[in-house]
């Protein structure tokens, strides 16, 4: 997939901006706080309907304005675009549009047609975004890693996204009911229908996550090997809730989940929160090393250096790209913000070489144009200053 053109109106520091991009590498250069990251954020928003940060949508609207508007023109091959050089078929051209008002009214259009559900929007075109915030995949809370997995799968599986939405709605209702039961305003038996929904949707979510994670793991480990010159070994271990639900047949998984909910019911009522279910899943990132003939296993979150943690986050993002490419036959757009911070010269060199072979349209922000070498090949440079692009 290729983003040919981007239009921003009243989006953060941009008043009215229209940019045409090259198919390969787009290098966005400028000093800090000039609007470089905002361009990547706009592309990400067009793909996922949210910022890569945790800002409310209204904070994306330019100061003293009441709305923002984004439009992207996308080119995608008829079929697979994993080998653009070999394509002989014409490209499908798509237009995606997003508008948001201070009132909270948000509209999504695909080729001029209003999309009524978020599930109709996600997956129209896919992006992979690495930014300083991506370090939360290694250093952050389990919720950060779950969000990564959920967005990845939602981009390639609309059934999963629907199950996830149903689960999250039921979870919210159950948690509200728990608080009412705690204050003696509701009967505990009222939990049973919500438990049934959590079990049905939760089993589907958990088993899909674990299956996709097994595929992702292979790609992430391969990319991590490339980024470290085969000098470090990364292990990834998924931890579902409840345990063993991912490996059990459906009937057994149903019983495991129900037992977990029943066992924790008193605790759930006391806290007003549900303690068991895929909303508690996590995965561990473990670095393996050898010293004096002995193997050591250390969790990257606690013991990895800043450079090691950044390398792992990059490997996760590049693994995401390969999984989407393999599953959909479409190559996601790659967004890299401040990618070389905290990487030493050797790791930077490995990343340069990998980017040169990525075979994807790539957007990179940098404060210095001269920091980038010829390995990037066909590269178009954009200069950003105070919300203006040249």
- Residue ranges of the chain with per-residue pLDDT less than 50: 84-89
Q: Where are the domains of the chain?
A: 1-126+334-390, 137-329
Residues near 5 by beta carbon (within 8 Å), at least 6 away in sequence: 18, 19, 20, 21, 71, 72, 73
pLDDT number for residue 357: 82
State the pLDDT at residue 89: 46
Check residue 87 and give its pLDDT: 46
Give 58's DSSP letter. Answer: G
**1-126+334-390: CATH number:** 3.40.50.300
- Asked if the domains at 1-126+334-390 and 137-329 fall in one CATH topology, the answer is no
**CATH code given to domain 137-329:** 1.20.1050.90
Start-to-end CA span in the chain (Å): 24
Residue-wise pLDDT tens digits, 94-130: 999 999 999 888 999 999 999 988 778 888 889 999 9
pLDDT of residue 137: 96
CB 48 within 8 A of CB 132: no
What is d(CA 168, CA 151) in angstroms, rounded to the nearest whole number? Answer: 14
pLDDT tens digit string along 142-179?
999 999 999 999 999 999 999 999 999 999 999 999 99
Q: pLDDT value at position 345? A: 79
- pLDDT score for 76: 81
Task: State how far the Cα of 375 lies from the Cα of 130, in Å rounded to an integer.
Answer: 19
């Amino acid at each position: 997939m290729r983003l040919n053109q981007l239009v921003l109106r009243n989006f953060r520091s941009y008043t009215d901006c229209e940019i045409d991009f090259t198919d390969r590498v787009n290098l966005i250069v400028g000093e800090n706080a000039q609007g470089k990251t905002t361009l990547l954020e706009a592309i990400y928003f067009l793909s996922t309907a949210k910022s890569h940060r945790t800002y409310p949508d209204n904070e994306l609207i330019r100061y003293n304005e009441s709305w923002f508007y984004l439009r992207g023109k996308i080119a995608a091959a008829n079929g697979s675009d994993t080998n653009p050089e070999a394509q002989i078929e014409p490209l499908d051209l798509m237009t995606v549009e997003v508008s948001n008002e201070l009132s909270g009214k948000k509209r999504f259009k695909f080729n001029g047609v209003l999309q009524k559900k978020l599930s109709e929007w996600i997956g129209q075109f896919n992006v992979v975004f690495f930014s300083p915030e991506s370090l939360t995949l290694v250093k952050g809370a389990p919720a950060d890693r779950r969000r990564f997995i959920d967005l990845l799968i939602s981009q390639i599986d609309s059934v999963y996204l629907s199950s996830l939405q149903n689960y999250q709605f039921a979870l919210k209702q159950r948690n509200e009911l728990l608080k009412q039961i705690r204050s003696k305003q509701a009967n505990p038996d009222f939990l049973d229908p919500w438990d049934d929904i959590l079990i049905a949707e939760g089993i589907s979510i958990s088993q899909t996550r674990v299956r996709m994670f097994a595929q992702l793991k292979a790609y992430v480990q391969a990319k991590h090997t490339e980024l470290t010159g085969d000098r470090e070994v990364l292990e990834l271990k998924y931890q579902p809730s409840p345990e063993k639900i991912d490996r059990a047949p459906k009937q057994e998984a149903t019983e495991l989940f129900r037992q977990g909910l029943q066992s924790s019911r008193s605790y759930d009522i006391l806290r007003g929160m549900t303690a068991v279910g895929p909303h508690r899943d996590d995965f561990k990132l473990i670095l393996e090393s050898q010293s004096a003939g002995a193997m050591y296993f250390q969790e990257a979150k606690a013991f990895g250096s800043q450079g090691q943690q950044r390398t792992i986050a990059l490997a996760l993002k590049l693994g995401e790209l390969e999984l989407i490419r393999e599953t959909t036959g479409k190559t996601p757009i790659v967004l890299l913000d401040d990618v070389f911070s905290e990487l030493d010269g050797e790791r930077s060199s490995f990343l340069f070489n990998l980017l040169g072979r990525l075979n994807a349209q790539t957007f990179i922000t940098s404060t210095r144009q001269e920091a980038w070498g010829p390995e990037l090949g066909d590269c178009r440079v954009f200069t950003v200053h105070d919300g203006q692009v040249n």
